[in-house]
Amino acid sequence: MKTANQSIKPITTKINDNGNLEIGGCDLVELADKFGTPLYVFDEATIRSMTSSYKDAFKNYPNMKMMFAAKAFMTKAICKIMQQEGFGLDLCSGGEIYTAKTSGFDMSKTLFNGNNKSYDDLLLALESGIGTISVDNFFELALLNSIAKSKNQTVRILLRITPGIECHTHEYIQTGHLDSKFGFDLTQIDNAVELIIDEYKNLNLVGLHAHIGSQIFEKKVYFDEVDVIFKEIKRIWDKYSIVLHEINLGGGLGIKYTDKDMPISVYDIADTIIESIKIHSEKYGLDEPTVFIEPGRSIVGTSGITLYTAGSSKQVPNGRKYQAVDGGMSDNARPSLYQAEYTVQIANKPDSVADQKITIAGKHCESGDILAKDIILPEINEGDIICFYTTGAYGYSMSSNYNRVLKPAAVLVNNGKSDIIISRQSYEQLCESDVIPDSLN
């Protein structure tokens, strides 16, 4: 069964009677006029379609728990949607913890992840009632136990491991291979377990956690990941008589950015994971555990688009044609960081013949500020509204104030209604943290 991550466009996308692109019942040209550009637009129906697909795909495994990977895109409004959909949250910073807590999210359904959690991060996590902490290294084991002891708390923890599985993704988004900054190597697990047994009495080890990467298009890696984790759980039981009844498989399901991308569906990975759990539970003589997965990109990626207004253009003699827009690498770092590719359409003339090879350039003082290189589009005129699809994940969350450019607004659209979920940054907000020392006055 096909799921929304296999589509480039939000599920409500159409061309309306005005001849403009429309998403969530809202005319994109009108949204650009009302809210300004650059503008992030999120289709609520597509987000909820993906959460529903995950729940339906895993409905035959009652011990499955869904955790939205907040790093993909996190606002208080997204927290509300995830809570309504019955998802927990996978958090990886103090800021994400604070956002979840102040949104009213049930913090018992959260997990704190990350390879270098600070004292302040961990203290905030405990004071906020975090549900579980995924411990990444020996330094964190000692630090977390010390803080928990000082607070007279016992903390539920998972040990994050590197399973040694390498996915065919960009090297920057591979997390499960052996040479990774994340997690305990399998050769270090015994030492960690023994420290928990002998010294760290304020830590309650309940399971193992692994990630195998991001933007994954293959099923077998999930099957293999379950095998690695079950084998380790069985070994720990045999050696220490400790029952680990929870496993976290991470996320990583890919999405479709261009026609070249061929992601699998949620149902594909669900069938593979459930099959692997049943096979390896029987193989190793273990009870079927509570299983957590952490989709992020696949939940919000397809739901989001970014709108820009076309500005200056340049034809290089015997070379490229550049079309500049009013945003760039400050609102979408992925093309510069990962050489990411996108599908682009002109919102105010989506039916026009695409016969021009154009490179979309950002406005920043940086030669590498290119959003799309050598793509085929209709002729672009100054003032046209340019729509980049599939920017819902890691667009706003990676945004910056490079060149002191303001961060864009984000709106949520549904059934013809548009609501601000992130206000456009003002110049006053941009400068509010600046301080001029007295010695300079």
Q: Are 20 and 273 in contact (CB under 8 A)?
A: no
425 C-beta neighbours (distance < 10 Å), count: 15
Tokens read off for 248: 């976290």
Q: How many helices (H) and strands (E) does the chain have?
A: 12, 20
Distance CA 23, CA 12 (A): 5
Cα dihedral value 122, 192, 177, 181, nearest 10? 40
Q: How far is CA 423 from the centre of its chain?
A: 21
224 C-beta neighbours (distance < 10 Å), count: 17
Q: Are 336 and 368 in contact (CB under 8 A)?
A: yes
Tokens read off for 317: 């003699």
Handedness of CA 394, 398, 399, 402 (dihedral sign): negative
Strand pairing category for 304-315 and 385-389: antiparallel
Buried b (16+ CB within 10 A) or exposed e, 319-337: eebbbbbbbbbbbbbbbbe
Three-state SS across 274-296?
A: HHHHHHHHHHHCCCCCEEEECCC
Q: Residues 26, 79, 365, 387: which is the catalytic one?
A: 365
Distance CA 78, CA 47 (A): 9
Three-state SS across 356-409?
A: EEEEEECCCCCCCCEEEEEEEECCCCCCCEEEEECCCCCCHHHCCCHHHCCCCE
Cis check: omega of the bond before 38, within 30 degrees of 0: yes
Q: What is the largest CA-CA distance in the chain?
A: 73
Does residue 365 have an active-site annotation?
yes
What distances in angstroms separate CA 95 from CA 75, 124, 125, one per listed residue? 11, 10, 10
Residue carrying structure tokens 């550049």: 322
Amino acid at residue number 161: I
Show which residues are catalytic: 365
